[in-house]
């Protein structure tokens, strides 16, 4: 049983395989947090601390570990909920009402209902316990049971209490072409805030938290949570003067207000959260396993070819046909036409919104290309940017009021485009219809959905930040219902829409426009902390790379991209015979190993060398892989001792690469490790592991 209740003392204990989470209701009806950490079975050992004021300047609400602090009374700390009622009262004062437990196939759920002591506002806290995954999913639902409106000004998905100071907080920073740059900083007094205010997406921070006590990959305490939401979010980490660290994550209250009408419900996004005392690797495995089990489908992802870096906007049917033939020859399984196929799209200035096939580029329609791709036995995919419109288009001329705007302000363009007001039903209908028509009238298997600018001049309703994303989710859900075989890739100027909100509705992420194979290793490494490898699209592209200007051998570029879901973005028509042969070999090899890459357990191996080696391991059933990279050989270069992880101690393994074959026990490989020496610049090796 994963949810244990002591009715008499009103204490709730949530149990996963290795962990416990406890909270209770005190004699004043306040929800008090009691524990989060390693497993404790005896619920009766938990005690409800008595509320005692230390001084008038340290009100009990400040010191008390509240499970769901609201704005109101003597509370000055960060709160999870702020509501303005119709009479102008801006404080919530809740009391505990009841609890309910629901048993579902995959999880048990504890539902706690609170109610405002005066107004008919109900707050339900949801705790879904995924015992075998050592994870919980928390969320909050508000219900207005009164006859009057209530203005929700802030709603966080959860508050977490971590009973330590001086923790390390990690997340990612970044920008276009430099997504997922992991940073770690000490938490001290004061607050650490990460957020997104852009409405669409952000490369700057990602909606998750990781707090650790000097953990490594394999040891140490780690508390973590990942929000299931795209667009605006905020996360606040605060080390309080009272000896603990608080974390809150949920909807960003910046310029936010949601009018909760009588009878209406409104939910904060769910947050998947967990604890481990086994370091970052276990954290990643829990999240990856959860994603595999409940978010991603079971299909192995196809090898993709995308023409963007080869042709830019200069798409022509003739050239696409040639690219498709060559892509097939190389072994690609999915051919994707990127930007430039529609409207008067010859650059960024025009086209978005006019989603008809461009006649000059495809004189006989796009089916000429699709039919050819299909006759070659490949799937067909296409790029769209449905939330946007360019000013010169027919769509904008006919519906200038469809963009986000204020009556007396000029709407800003960015990348020469406006954002459509997705909160309008007519706009939602237009976007849905356009995509439904596209998918109905053409044999399309894959949509790359892009979003290349943030929202500005939002509109009068301050719930736009929430509703815009809801509309995107709803449209894709409806499209998938009608066209269940179609895969959706989430892209926003590269990796701007990587989050657990979009995943599950979409199928994979475009990870970054930065396709430099070395830079990608950094991006992929950080990505892997939270997100599953299967959803990580990675392309091999031409050199010198358009961002880094760096020349990297094709073998290294392939190895880097084969660590995720492989794609090719080169101008393959320019490939030499030698490049064609190598690409064919690597793609064929990827097809053999991809179940291990896409669905195996992933390990970020420790670099025990002074040189900048990077090594990664994947394990699935009796097989595994090691990818090892060395970007530059340094003076005094020594071999790398590579200690493997996750093997069975007493099983014997065979490791093969090049003409080398090594037979060792799991214990030897994990404890002593093997010595490997790569040399030169951009050296890489792929080593195969199998149980003997
Ligand atoms: C964004 C995407 C790219 C490409 C272009 C097309 O930048 O990240 O992959 O699709 O748009 O305009």
The DSSP code sequence of 121-141 is EEEEEEEEEEGGGTEEEEEEE
Which atom in ligand 1 lies closest to the alpha carbon of residue 492? 8
pLDDT at 460: 87
CATH homologous superfamily for the domain 605-691:
Golgi alpha-mannosidase II (2.60.40.1180)
CATH homologous superfamily for the domain 3-294:
alpha-galactosidase from lactobacil brevis (2.70.98.60)
Confidence of residue 53 (pLDDT cuts 50, 70, 90): confident
Report how far residue 566's alpha carbon sits from residue 595's, in angstroms, rounded to the nearest whole number. 12
Residue 1 has pLDDT above 80, yes or no: no
**Residue at token pair 């736009």:** 464
Q: How far is the CA of 494 from the centre of ligand 1 (A)?
A: 6
Q: How far is the CA of 216 from the centre of ligand 1 (A)?
A: 36
Q: How far is the CA of 177 from the centre of ligand 1 (A)?
A: 11
Confidence of residue 365 (pLDDT cuts 50, 70, 90): very high
Ligand 1 pocket test, pick from 383, 415, 489 with the greatest ligand atom count within 8 Å of Cβ, gives: 383
Active site residue 450: yes
Report how far residue 184's alpha carbon sits from residue 177's, in angstroms, rounded to the nearest whole number. 21
What residue ranges line ligand 1, CB within 6 angstroms?
308, 338-339, 383, 450, 452, 491, 493-494, 510, 513
Residue 636 has pLDDT above 90, yes or no: no
Say whether the peptide bond before residue 544 is cis (omega within 30 degrees of 0): yes
φ, ψ dihedrals at 579, nearest 5°: -65, -40
Three-class DSSP category at 213: coil
Pick from 535, 686, 556: nearest CA to 616: 686
Pick from 60, 80, 59: nearest CA to 69: 80
pLDDT tens sequence across 13-29:
999 999 999 999 999 89
Q: How far is the CA of 543 from the centre of ligand 1 (A)?
A: 18
Residue 60 has pLDDT above 80, yes or no: yes
Q: How far is the CA of 221 from the centre of ligand 1 (A)?
A: 39
Neighbour tally for 43: CB within 10 Å? 17
H or E segment and range at residue 318 = helix 317-330
From atom 7 of ligand 1, which residue's Cα is the shortest distance away? 493
Report how far residue 174's alpha carbon sits from residue 182's, in angstroms, rounded to the nearest whole number. 9
Q: How far is the CA of 118 from the centre of ligand 1 (A)?
A: 52
Ligand 1 pocket test, pick from 174, 310, 339, 349 with the greatest ligand atom count within 8 Å of Cβ, gives: 339
Which atom in ligand 1 lies closest to the alpha carbon of residue 383? 10
Confidence (pTM): 0.97
Ligand 1 pocket test, pick from 174, 179, 338, 449 with the greatest ligand atom count within 8 Å of Cβ, gives: 338
Pick from 642, 539, 535: nearest CA to 598: 535
| Token couple for 173 | 């920073």
Q: How far is the CA of 248 from the centre of ligand 1 (A)?
A: 33
Active site residue 513: yes
Whether the Cβ atoms of residue 287 and residue 276 lie closer than 8 Å to each other: no
Ligand 1 pocket test, pick from 415, 417, 447, 513 with the greatest ligand atom count within 8 Å of Cβ, gives: 513
Q: How far is the CA of 472 from the centre of ligand 1 (A)?
A: 18
Whether 304-598 and 3-294 are alike in CATH topology: the answer is no
pLDDT at 310: 94
Three-class DSSP category at 689: strand
Say which residues have a Cβ less than 8 Å from residue 544's Cβ, sequence separation at least 6: 550, 551
pLDDT at 56: 86
From atom 12 of ligand 1, which residue's Cα is the shortest distance away? 339
pLDDT tens sequence across 101-148:
999 999 999 999 999 999 999 999 999 999 999 999 999 999 999 999
- 212, 253, 421, 513: the active-site residue: 513
**Residue at token pair 């709160």:** 79
- 116, 445, 450, 507: the active-site residue: 450
- Please state which CATH number belongs to domain 304-598: 3.20.20.70
pLDDT at 270: 98
Using a pLDDT cut of 90, give the percent of the chain over it.
95
pLDDT at 58: 86
3-state DSSP helix/strand/coil percent for the chain, to nearest 5?
20, 35, 40
pLDDT tens sequence across 432-453:
999 999 999 999 999 999 999 9
Which atom in ligand 1 lies closest to the alpha carbon of residue 494? 8
- Map out the domains of the chain as residue ranges: 3-294, 304-598, 605-691
Whether the Cβ atoms of residue 396 and residue 353 lie closer than 8 Å to each other: yes
pLDDT tens sequence across 174-213:
999 999 999 999 999 999 999 999 999 789 999 999 999 9
From atom 11 of ligand 1, which residue's Cα is the shortest distance away? 493
Q: How far is the CA of 491 from the centre of ligand 1 (A)?
A: 8
Which atom in ligand 1 lies closest to the alpha carbon of residue 491? 8
Alpha helices in 258-314 (DSSP H): 279-290, 308-311
Confidence of residue 635 (pLDDT cuts 50, 70, 90): confident
From atom 6 of ligand 1, which residue's Cα is the shortest distance away? 339
């Amino acid at each position: 049983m994963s949810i244990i209740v002591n009715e008499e003392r009103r204490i709730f204990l949530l149990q996963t395989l290795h962990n416990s989470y406890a909270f209770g209701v005190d004699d004043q009806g306040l929800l008090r947090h009691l524990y989060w950490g390693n497993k404790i079975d005896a619920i009766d050992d938990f005690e409800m601390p008595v509320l005692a004021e230390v001084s008038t300047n340290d009100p009990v609400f400040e010191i008390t570990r509240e499970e769901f602090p609201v704005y109101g009374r003597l509370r000055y700390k960060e709160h999870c909920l702020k509501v303005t009622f119709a009479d102008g009262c801006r404080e919530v004062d809740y009391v505990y009402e009841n609890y309910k437990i629901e048993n579902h196939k995959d999880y048990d759920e504890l539902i706690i209902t609170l109610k405002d002591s005066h107004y008919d506002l109900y707050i339900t806290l949801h705790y879904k316990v995924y015992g075998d995954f050592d994870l919980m999913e928390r969320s909050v639902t508000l219900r207005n049971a009164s006859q009057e409106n209530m203005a929700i000004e802030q709603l966080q998905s959860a508050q977490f209490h971590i009973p330590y100071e001086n923790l390390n907080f990690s997340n990612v920073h970044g920008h276009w072409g430099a997504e997922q740059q992991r940073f770690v900083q000490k938490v001290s007094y004061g607050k650490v805030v990460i957020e997104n205010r852009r409405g669409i997406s952000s490369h700057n921070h990602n909606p998750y938290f990781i707090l650790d006590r000097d953990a490594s990959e394999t040891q140490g305490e780690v508390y973590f949570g990942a929000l299931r939401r795209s667009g605006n979010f905020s996360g606040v980490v605060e080390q309080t003067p009272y000896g603990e660290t608080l974390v809150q994550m949920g909807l960003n209250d910046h310029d936010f207000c949601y009018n909760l009408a009588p009878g209406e419900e409104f939910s904060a996004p769910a947050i998947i959260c967990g604890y481990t005392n086994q370091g970052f690797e276990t954290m990643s495995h829990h999240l990856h396993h959860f994603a595999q089990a409940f978010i991603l489908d079971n299909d192995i992802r196809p090898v993709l070819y995308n023409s963007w870096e080869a042709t830019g906007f200069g798409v022509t049917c003739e050239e696409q046909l040639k690219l498709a033939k060559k892509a097939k020859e190389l072994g690609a399984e999915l051919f994707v036409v990127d930007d430039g196929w529609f409207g008067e799209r010859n650059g960024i200035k025009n086209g978005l919104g006019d989603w008809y096939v461009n006649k000059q580029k495809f004189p006989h329609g796009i089916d000429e290309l699709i039919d050819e791709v299909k006759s070659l036995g490949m799937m067909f995919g296409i790029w769209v940017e449905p939330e946007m419109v360019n000013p010169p288009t027919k769509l904008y001329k006919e519906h200038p009021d469809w963009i986000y705007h204020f009556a007396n302000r000029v709407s800003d363009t960015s990348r020469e485009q406006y954002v459509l007001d997705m909160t309008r039903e007519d706009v939602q209908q237009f976007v849905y219809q356009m995509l439904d028509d596209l998918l109905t009238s053409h044999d399309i298997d894959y949509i790359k959905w892009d979003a290349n600018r943030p929202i500005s001049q939002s509109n009068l309703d301050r719930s736009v930040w929430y509703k815009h994303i809801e509309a995107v989710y709803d449209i894709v859900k409806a499209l998938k219902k009608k066209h269940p075989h179609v895969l959706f890739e989430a892209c926003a100027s590269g990796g701007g829409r990587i989050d657990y909100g979009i995943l599950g509705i979409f199928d994979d992420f475009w990870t970054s426009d930065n396709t430099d194979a070395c830079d990608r290793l950094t991006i992929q490494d950080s990505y892997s902390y939270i997100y599953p490898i299967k959803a990580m699209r990675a392309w091999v592209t031409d050199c010198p790379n358009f961002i880094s200007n760096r020349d990297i051998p094709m073998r290294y570029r392939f190895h880097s991209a084969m660590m995720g879901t492989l794609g090719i973005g080169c101008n393959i028509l320019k490939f030499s015979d030698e490049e064609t042969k190598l690409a064919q070999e690597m793609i064929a090899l990827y097809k053999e190993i991809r179940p291990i890459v896409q669905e195996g357990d992933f390990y970020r191996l420790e670099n025990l060398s002074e040189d900048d080696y990077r090594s990664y391991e994947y394990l699935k059933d009796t097989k595994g892989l090691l990818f090892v990279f060395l970007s530059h050989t340094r003076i005094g270069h020594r071999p790398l001792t590579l200690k493997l992880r996750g093997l069975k101690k007493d099983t014997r393994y065979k490791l093969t690469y090049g003409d080398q074959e090594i037979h060792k026990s799991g214990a030897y490989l994990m404890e002593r490790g093997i010595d490997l020496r790569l040399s030169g610049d951009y050296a890489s090796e792929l080593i195969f592991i199998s149980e003997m």
